[in-house]
Structures are given as C-alpha cells and as structure tokens.
Amino acid sequence: MKMSPEYTKAQENMQPGVITSDGFLGDDRRPIIEIISDDEAEMKRDGLEFDETVALMRRLMGESRKGLGEPVTVDGKWIVQAFEARGFLASPFEDGIFRKVNAQVTLIHEGKPTEHSILYSDLSLHLIDKYHFFQGKGAGFRISPAAVKRVLFTD
C-alpha cells in the first residue's frame, strides 16, 4: 500500500504536539500504512475480525459509562470503568471530533481481576474501526492486537 495524501497528512497530524502532546505514534518510526498492515496481519493470524472487535469494545465502553466513574462488572468476564475529561480530540485524519472519554477494561479470571487490561478512547475506537489503526508502538493509547485477543476474546 502506498501513502496517499490523506495518510501522509494524518501521519503529520499524529506527531507530538499537533493534536496531543505525546502524539499517536510513540517511538514507532514506520509509516502508518506499515503499522496498519502489520496489525491487520496480526488480527488475521489471531482469528480476530475488526467489526466484531469494535462492536464489543463499543458495548464495553457503553457499559463503563453506566457506572458514572465507578467500576462495573460485565458478563462476569470484565471489569470496566469510564474516565472522562473535559474537552475534545480531533481525529488525525480530519474526519471528526471526539469527546475525551476513556474506558479501562480488565479481564476477570475466577472472579478476580487479572493484570490483563486495555485502555481506549472514543477516538481510539474510531481509528480502529475506520482505519484499522491501533496507534504506533510506544504510544500511550496503543492497543496491540495481542492485548485485544487476551482481554476481549479469552475463553
């Protein structure tokens, strides 16, 4: 895949200090199309579908908001908690503005929380859903496909 002007502009917007102080790429210096391609391949290897993953993440985000900042247990599998901050974040693809709402999802095993959790925002969901972009390695809101599988799809 070649970097289109849209992706080139988005990668510029992902740099530290443009939209967020830390940016979206962490210490990952690869072009975003390479980051996306590698994560898509990992999702495929792990047998994960983007639509199913995003739908579950959206549902868990919704359940976390019902707790009004307090932890909520969902399906006996996860503890979810919402964290809200004032303001909004723009998409680096310049296709939307998103509230600063984060969901922490922690896997439960035998009724107790494990060390396995993921943290994501409304903007993260949009980037995963529309662009298959989990953010660069080392980014604060990077969610690896391996973490998605471990937390969301462990039986």
Long-range CB pairs of 43-46, under 8 A, 24+ apart, other chains included: 43/132, 43/145, 43/148, 46/145, 46/146, 46/149
Q: Amino acid identity, residue 94?
A: E
Predicted pLDDT of residue 6: 94
Residues 6+ apart with CB under 8 A from 29: none
* Number of other residues whose CB lies within 10 A of the CB of residue 21: 8
Predicted pLDDT of residue 1: 63
Predicted pLDDT of residue 58: 96
The segments of the chain whose pLDDT lies below 50 read none
Predicted pLDDT of residue 84: 86
Tokens describing residue 64:
């976390």
What's this model's pTM, rounded to 2 decimal places?
0.92
Closest CA to 64 of 115, 133, 121, 112: 121
Q: What is the pLDDT of residues 4-27, one digit of tens each?
A: 999 999 999 999 999 999 999 999
Tokens describing residue 32:
């975003």
The 3-state DSSP class for residue 87 equals strand
Tokens describing residue 60:
């868990």
Dihedral in degrees, nearest 10, Cα atoms 9, 14, 17, 19 = 80
The dihedral through the CA atoms of 141, 144, 147, 151 has a sign that is positive
